[in-house]
Amino acid sequence: MLGNDIVDLDLAKTQSNWRRKNYLDKIFTDEEQLLIATAENTDVMVWLLWSMKESAYKIHNRKTGIRNFAPKSLKCIIHSNTYGEVNIDDDTYFTKSNIQTTFVHTIASPVYNHLEEIKISIFEAPNHIFDYKSTKPGCVSHHGKYLALVY
């Protein structure tokens, strides 16, 4: 199983005011909030952690059949600028992120070694692949002008 999430950073700036009172408390653990507060780029850190949670949740939801997105129950650990993990209950999902100036993209897998085997296709509007479902992606994510497919 694969998870995948992409955040269009330009759109996120206009659609979400994560700096409003209590926003971070609802979504991020104390440890994650510390990562945000001490980050060189707080906006990127917010969306990195968010994309890690989303990509892991997509796997966890398919695995358990439980549709309960409770972001604080998904605990992120960052091992490097690229690699991390998300713990949900007794499950661990490994993540690999790609941070660009215009987007943050994260893939997730329940098996660490599979991260390097995942094939990724990212499209930017207006150059989205028209019939992407026919390519049978393992997971689809889209936000703003970006479409991310993983196989």
CATH number for position 91: 3.90.470.20
Q: Is residue 86 part of a domain?
A: yes
Q: Cβ(125)–Cβ(145) under 8 Å?
A: yes
Q: Is residue 101 part of a domain?
A: yes
What's the total number of domains in the chain?
A: 1
Q: Is residue 62 part of a domain?
A: yes
Strand order in the sheet with 139-143: 120-124, 146-150, 139-143
Q: What is the pLDDT along the chain (151 residues), one digit of tens a residue?
A: 999 999 999 999 999 889 899 999 999 999 999 999 999 999 999 999 999 999 999 999 999 887 877 889 999 999 998 999 999 999 999 999 999 999 999 999 999 999 999 999 999 998 887 789 999 999 999 999 999 999 9
Q: Is residue 137 part of a domain?
A: no
Q: Is residue 151 part of a domain?
A: no
Q: What is the pTM of this model?
A: 0.94
Q: Is residue 49 part of a domain?
A: yes
**In which domain, by residue range, is 12 found?**
3-114
- Reference 78, options 103, 43, 106; nearest CA is 106
Q: Is residue 14 part of a domain?
A: yes
Q: Is residue 148 part of a domain?
A: no
